[in-house]
Amino acid sequence: MHILVTNDDGVQAPGLLALAEAMRPLGRVSVVAPDRNWSIAGHAKTLSRPLRVNEVRLADGSQALSCDGAPSDCVALALMGLLDEKPDLVVSGINPTANMGDDITYSGTVANAMEAAISGLPAVAVSVDGLDSSCKTVEFAAAAHFGRRVVQQVIDNGLPLRVYLNVNVPCLPLGEILGCVVTRQGKRLYFDELIKRIDPFGRPYYWIGGDPPGGEGEADTDVGALAAGYVSITPLQLDLTEHHEIENLSRRQW
Positions 38 through 67 that interact with a second copy (CB under 8 A): 39-48, 50-53
Shorter beta-carbon distance to a second copy: residue 214 or 235? 235
| Bridge partners, 91 (sequence order) | 5, 124
For residue 12, state whether it binds a second copy (rule: CB under 8 A): no
For residue 1, state whether it binds a second copy (rule: CB under 8 A): no
For residue 192, state whether it binds a second copy (rule: CB under 8 A): yes
For residue 217, state whether it binds a second copy (rule: CB under 8 A): no
For residue 80, state whether it binds a second copy (rule: CB under 8 A): yes
**116 burial level (CB within 10 Å; 0-12, 13-18, 19+):** buried
Out of 133, 134, 137, 250, the residue judged to bind a second copy by CB under 8 A: 250
Phi then psi dihedrals of residue 45, to 5 deg: -140, 125
Site for a second copy in 17-36 (CB under 8 A): none
Shorter beta-carbon distance to a second copy: residue 61 or 131? 131
Residue 60 CB, shortest distance to a second copy, in Å, is: 26
Site for a second copy in 102-131 (CB under 8 A): 102, 104-106, 111, 114, 118
* CB of 83 closer than 8 Å to CB of 106: no
For residue 238, state whether it binds a second copy (rule: CB under 8 A): yes
Using left for φ > 0, alpha for ψ between -120 and 50, and beta otherwise, residue 141 falls in: alpha
For residue 2, state whether it binds a second copy (rule: CB under 8 A): no
Of 79, 68, 100, 62, nearest to 190 (Cα)? Answer: 100
Q: Could you give the CA distance from residue 212 to residue 192 in angstroms, rounded to a whole number? A: 8
* CB of 72 closer than 8 Å to CB of 115: yes
**197 burial level (CB within 10 Å; 0-12, 13-18, 19+):** exposed
Shorter beta-carbon distance to a second copy: residue 27 or 235? 235
Out of 7, 97, 168, 185, the residue judged to bind a second copy by CB under 8 A: 185
